Structure 1
């Protein structure tokens, strides 16, 4: 049905209802039959005109009535009430009478018939939904707005395989009540018993406001049932139209390990990035690429994607050009170890801000290849930092790691030396140099999550190095957003530390992934393989002499770092660069013994 046809039909139906309502009202209650013809004609014309005016104003002709709800009912009430008020005023002026009882009956009939004409569309639609007999009996966790939305959409969807049969909610005032024909049967603590009693085949968690800690508790209860558990989409995804309410998804490990989102200081970040030229090194990596995505949300004038791997740079280049067509994206294939090339790129674009995310980060691999760790993490950082200084970059933000604290590995040591290079550059340059330090990132390349998932897909076992091994975790988008926020707070010389929340035992992470994959620990075994070279049992975010207890922004701390003896650092880098690659292959780079208090490095045969 076209819009014009639909509009004409609705206006015709409304006109008939208006005429019928006012005639019946006068016929039932008018005291003087002599007044009826004159008053009816005048009142009908006034009510008809005012009804169509207010119906148009409140968009009664534009609404999709097959999805009618309280909002549509409210619009009907307002339009009809105001129409009756207009007619009452006209009668008072023209006939010195208000006919209150007659107008009241007319108002009631008007609302009843208009409402029935509209909501009958929804009743017809709901009655046409064919009920499938093969739907899975579903328990909805949460009897609030989220749970009601999920239940309504699942019931009305012909394609859905789920049929809500009950709710659970910790709000006891809702117990023994019904929502969408489904009873609220108890609290979340009773999930295992209720699943058995109600023959539940599926569980949907539908509490958008639930904290991560509460979600973990609820998911633990659901895991006891061995029934598949899913979660409703994020509200922002539903509102943006990316997904519908009934498109429930599997619970991800990020849901269980993430923290509550922190609102960014958009104005401060915008002042740093909007309309500016921004360079990101390591732009093809998991952190670097997400930093690029986050930067583009602030409408920079130009963004330079610098990286060594052509495939990864090609991927993020194509993605950004499609998502942000108004931003100039410049891909540059370059190695941060190539000093001349880095200076050429910096001279070509003269960026306002540089985010340095290029680094080797895999601990065991760097233990086997220490010379490559130094070349990339130390020499590469030094090249980019000195190029930024030479071409008057406003701010330089280096992405660092918690492994730089009291380092026991080559990777951690090289990242700490890189931090020291950045801190020193701040003392001799007009550019603001800062470093941002955080822990492990969920889903990043080389992280434990993809490894565990592959092992689970292969049927196990899942290998964990030590039962007490713990790490800090953060999602890639969260880490990238906080890197931008920390960069906007830079005054120069700081090492910012992101609040990583509570550390997580790796074995608990493995158990969660096994359960999320639909298995039990009996199906997928966990095997302890022993700690690898350079690994710590517990990670630290700040050393004892680096702690500033107060946050300068939610989830961001400013670390106090000890003085830097750059003579030692430059002596080391000069000595390193003087050796050929052939000589280095015959030597062991003893960076693990880098002592931060005595500030010395040793290169031993």
Structure 2
């Protein structure tokens, strides 16, 4: 199939007919694809243990605000919060809910508007904030960098500052598994990593407890699933990044429960330390190829598969030191090698927890000020330029607070890969080597 239509060349005419024939052969050969689709969809019913008493104590009689409560996970979280008897339960979003939850007060709020966010928090006076509002589509993030930075970075800063000044006791932040990369050029992933850093700095001031969670691919609101089904309905090709792609998945139910675990843990952790929570066992990864074939069979469509290559926003190959084989098998796959040595258990036996550590970064502060100017009106090119500089500054801030011994082990593991590293990964490796205490010149092989 990749010989008939190489990645990057859009199939038309005879190409589509040949891909359809080959897809038919693949469907006949991959007899387990329907079972893989069924396994993928069944994850929607999966849940994790939650410390019920601690969660109820943290919520009952409190004023609770959920940003992004109109979305899939936000709606699931609101449903989980109602029976916990908060004094007031509110949702703040810039879009109306598709399925409203009884007992919830819905507010319209654009978190990118700093003053409006300040005014809203001062008016509603929440005790607890769950921050889910975000631009979550990696592909869209590459096309609309300014909007993504305004929402995911500046919006997170705005809600954190407003919540702190309004006397909020606890803030729980929703990040992404993609943020486990210590550095990335992908706008969505790096924007969420920057959100983690902003909450880390907020927690360090000691006036508000901050925790966060990392979600991986959520089946209930899957962008991939919706695109595949839409393509089948229209008879269009199903575009795959690669036939070898596999990925972890979780449910909206698990995601909401994970946020409740993070809240419950906040009362048992140091007030000035930001901590992140991830599900430890996410099950066997899902094959993108089998998922696509299963959806074709489900629909009865004659849509062909097309291996298109990796779109912007989706990393083709990770940094070779992302995981340390010595510890990776014992913790969540959403924890990287820098973080894994500090991973610990939480109040839920299904959840791992790590501290978020990073030094103060004047360069990052400069980025925030510049991004604010470049986002209104939006200038995607200019935002991307300052955004990339901020991403490198954030990696440096992380390396400064990481044990040199940990960095030395990571960069020792990557040594054999240096001749084939791409320029960004080589630059990243050079920075980690510098903080690990390597003596050879930067950019040497």
TM-score normalised by the chain length of structure 2: 0.70
Map 1:435-446; keep pairs closer than 5 Å: 435-444=212-221
CA-to-aligned-CA distance 1:69-113 (integer Å, 9 cap, x gap): xxxxxxxxxxxxxxxxxxxxxxxxxxxxxxxxxxxxxxxxxxxxx
Residue 478 (structure 1) aligns with? 254
2:101 is aligned with 1:320 = yes
Report the secondary structure of 2:185's partner residue. Answer: coil
CA–CA distance in 1 between the matches of 2:378 and 2:226?
36
- 1:275 is displaced (CA, Å) by 2.1
The structural deviation recorded for 1:562 is 3.5
Structure-1 residue corresponding to 2:93: 307
Native 8 Å contact 2:258 2:277 kept in 1: no
Aligned match for 2:193, one of 389, 395, 416 = 416
Does the residue aligned with 1:587 lie in a helix, a strand or coil? Answer: helix
Q: CA deviation at 1:437?
A: 0.8
User: TM-score, normalising length from structure 1?
Assistant: 0.52
Q: 2:121 aligns with which of 346, 358, 365?
A: 346
Q: C-alpha deviations, 1:363-403, integer Å up to 9, x for none?
A: 12111221111111111001100111111111000100012
Gaps of 5+ in 2: 1-29, 319-332, 399-445
Aligned pair partner of 1:294 in 66, 69, 80? 80
Deviates most, 487-496 or 271-280: 487-496
Cα distance, 1:377–1:583 mapped onto 2, change above 3 Å: closer
Corresponding residue number in structure 1 for 2:209: 432
Aligned to 1:528: 307
Q: Distance in 2 between matches of 1:272 and 1:367?
A: 38
Query: How far apart are the structure 2 equivalents of 1:361 and 1:494?
Result: 22
Task: Provide the rounded CA distance (Å) in 2 between the counterparts of 1:503 and 1:554.
Answer: 21
Change (3 A) 1:468 1:573: same
**Corresponding residue SS for 1:381:** helix
2:54 aligns with one of 268, 278, 281:
268
Q: 1:475 to 1:583 in 2, by over 3 A?
A: closer
Check if 1:555 corresponds to 2:335: no
CA distance in 1, matches of 2:374, 2:299: 53
Q: Determine helix, strand or coil for the equivalent of 2:162.
A: helix
Aligned match of 2:278: 497
Q: Residues 568 and 434 of structure 1: is their aligned pair in 2 closer, same or farther, counting only changes over 3 Å?
A: farther
Counterpart check, 1:376 vs 2:155: no
List runs of 5+ in structure 1 lacking aligned partners.
1-222, 230-249, 322-326, 601-605
- SS of match in other structure, 2:172: strand
2:335 equivalent to 1:542: yes
Pairing of 1:109-124 with structure 2 (within 5 A):
none
How far apart are the structure 1 equivalents of 2:352 and 2:195?
19
Tell which structure's C-alpha radius of gyration is larger: 1
Could you say which residue in structure 2 is the equivalent of 1:507? 289
Once the two structures are TM-superposed, the CA of residue 585 in structure 1 deviates from its matched residue by 4.7
SS at match of 2:396: coil
CA contact under 8 A between 1:439 and 1:472: conserved in structure 2? yes
Structure 1 residues 287 and 274: alpha-carbon distance in aligned structure 2, compared to 1, 3 A threshold:
same
Q: CA 1:564–1:525 in 2, change beyond 3 Å: closer, same or farther?
A: same
CA distance in 2, matches of 1:384, 1:471: 31
Question: In structure 2, what is the Cα distance between the partners aligned to 1:225 and 1:287?
Answer: 30
Query: Is 1:597 matched up with 2:395?
Result: yes
Indicate conservation of the 8 Å contact 1:337/1:383, yes or no: yes
- Tell me which residue corresponds to 1:205: none
Shift of 1:418: 0.9
Q: Is the 8 A contact 2:200 2:356 kept in 1?
A: no
Mapped contact 2:148–2:191 kept (Cα < 8 A)? yes
Report the counterpart of residue 145 of structure 1 in structure 2: none
1:411 and 1:252 mapped to 2: Cα distance?
A: 28
Contact 1:402/1:541 (CA < 8 Å) preserved in 2? yes
Map 1:177-326 to 2 at 5 A. 253-255=40-42, 257=43, 261-309=47-95, 311-312=96-97, 315-316=98-99, 319-321=100-102
Counterpart residue number, 2:328: none
Post-superposition shift, 1:358? Answer: 0.6
Cα separation, partners in 2 of 1:224 and 1:404, compared to 1, 3 Å: closer
Q: What's the CA shift string for 1:512-562, capped at 9, x where partnerless?
A: 3334x1649xx5432211110121246762221111454322221112433
- What is the rounded CA distance, in whole Å, between the counterparts of 2:84 and 2:294 in structure 1? 36
**Residue 384 of structure 2: SS of its match in structure 1?**
strand
Aligned to 1:387: 162
Could you say which residue in structure 2 is the equivalent of 1:135? none
SS in 2 for 1:366: helix
Of 129, 135, 139, the match for 1:360: 135
Residue from 379, 404, 429 that aligns with 1:584: 379
Q: 1:299 offset after TM fit, Å?
A: 2.0
**Could you say which residue in structure 2 is the equivalent of 1:68?**
none
Counterparts of 1:563-574 in structure 2, within 5 Å, are 563-574=358-369
